[in-house]
Amino acid sequence: MPDSPLAALSGKLVIDLSRVLGGPYCTQILGDHGAEIIKIEPPRGDETRDWGPPFHEGDSAYYIGVNRNKRSMGLDLSLPEGRDVLLRMLENADVLLENYKPGTMESWGLGYQEVLKEKFPRLVHCRISGFGSDGPWGGFPGYDAIIQAMAGWFSVNGEAGSEPTRLGLAAVDMGTGLYSVIGILMALLERERSGQGQYLDMTLYDCAVSLMHPHIPNYNYSGKIPGPTGNAHPNISPYDTFKTGTIDIFIGAGNNRAFGKLCNALNRPELIEDERFINNIDRVNNREALKQELESSLAGFKGEEITTVLAEAGLAAGPIHNTQQVVDHPHTHHRQMTVEQGWYKMTGTPIKLSRTPGSIRHLPPKYGEQTREILAEFGFSAEEVQQLLQSDTVLEQRRR
């Protein structure tokens, strides 16, 4: 990630009250592209600092993975003095992001409709919660796996006939973080026209339901409840894992032309005219027979070699990698998706802008590492800072 002299979001100030994953992932993306992110942590800190092993100098790899390009200060918002500090900081802010339980900010006198909208009319306030503040489940807590379960993800994951299974990624949290980035950018863009900020009501539940594709559309138009299909796609064939002479690989052929290329590459042109496999609907209805035919041919190939042959023929195919193979892969390095800076080694940004690329300006901060520095930048005198530290309104060390 090369350093950018003027990144896409340079000049934008984000006050980040969020913890765990969805919110921090959102603000890391904004920070990668130039926004100034001030991570305000409660006295006990972001709990993911403890979510290990592994750790680096007391902070977990989990925390390190989503908290670069931020500066940290500790602040106790349960105290009136802490809320006064936040209000002073919001005078210059473009975005406030938080993921407190709905009603918490309001109980502190910091609700958007009641207070912030009038005090800071240009502020974009983004709240991430499990289910929102109203409705049958409004206000209830929600973690990634609970939402996966309730939004149907468990029911379509795993092998056919298997028990409901959690995805191995926190895709609800991270997907909500991505949706939140989009929403924040939309609000900032609209503000250029109206001059007004607005409130973003982002929920893990909404985002997880929106990502249930193609299962919800399939149900809506068939009436059949989808179940797990393993690695096979419910609407496309071949789109599955296949055994070769060495390793398992994945092949996807979404149309007749691609299927023809696959058959020719495997020296099986007769399959193109086989009545069982003429069109995609035929291949879906006869997917097991097709898999047997393809694997009988793939058994004579080395997986690493045949995936290259297929890719060069214009087909979507690739070997199945573990995490180490992904990190070490030459294409991962070529795409700058592994970045290193001193002790820090992490994934790069997937957003590649030609004139204003992302960059690493700050490594993940220790708790309260920049508390004094940040307060000084917001006009707090040395005496005020010392008084706030002595009263434990602001903190430089976690309260255990």
For the stretch 180-238, pLDDT in tens is 999 999 999 999 999 999 999 999 999 999 999 999 999 999 999 999 999 999 999 99
Please report the pLDDT score of residue 5 as a whole number.
61
- Residue positions counted in the chain: 400
Rounded to 5°, angle at Cα 341 from 339 and 343: 110
- Map tokens 């912030």 to a residue: 116
CA dist list (Å): 112 to 84, 117, 177, 189: 15, 5, 20, 20
Cα separation, 187 vs 121, in Å, equals: 13
pLDDT, one tens digit per residue, over 55-78 is 999 999 999 999 999 999 999 999
CB 73 within 8 A of CB 394: yes
Q: Which helix (H) or strand (E) holds 338?
A: strand 338-341
Cα separation, 259 vs 236, in Å, equals: 11
**Could you give the residue range(s) of every CATH 3.30.1540.10 domain in the chain?**
239-243+248-319
Question: Taking the model in full, what pTM does it have?
Answer: 0.94
The matching CATH number, chosen from 3.40.50.720, 1.10.10.10, 3.40.50.10540, 3.50.50.60, for 13-211+334-395 is 3.40.50.10540
3-state secondary structure of 27: helix
3-state secondary structure of 367: coil
CB 139 within 8 A of CB 131: yes
Cα separation, 271 vs 278, in Å, equals: 8
What superfamily does domain 239-243+248-319 belong to in CATH? formyl-coa transferase, domain 3 (3.30.1540.10)
Q: Which helix (H) or strand (E) holds 16?
A: strand 13-16
**Could you give the residue range(s) of every CATH 3.40.50.10540 domain in the chain?**
13-211+334-395
Q: Which residues are catalytic?
A: 173
Please report the pLDDT score of residue 2 as a whole number.
47
Residues in the chain with pLDDT values less than 50: 1-4
Task: Burial-class residue 17 by CB neighbours within 10 Å (0-12, 13-18, 19+).
Answer: buried
Cβ neighbours for 319, distance < 8 A, ≥ 6 positions apart: 247, 248, 249, 250, 303, 304, 307
Q: Which of 166, 147, 146 is nearest to 156 (CA)?
A: 166
Q: What is the per-residue burial (b if ≥16 Cβ within 10 Å, else e) of 43-78?
A: bbbbebbeeeeeeeeebbebbbbbbbbbbbbbbbbe
Residue type, 280: N
CA dist list (Å): 78 to 84, 96, 103, 206, 398: 11, 17, 13, 29, 15
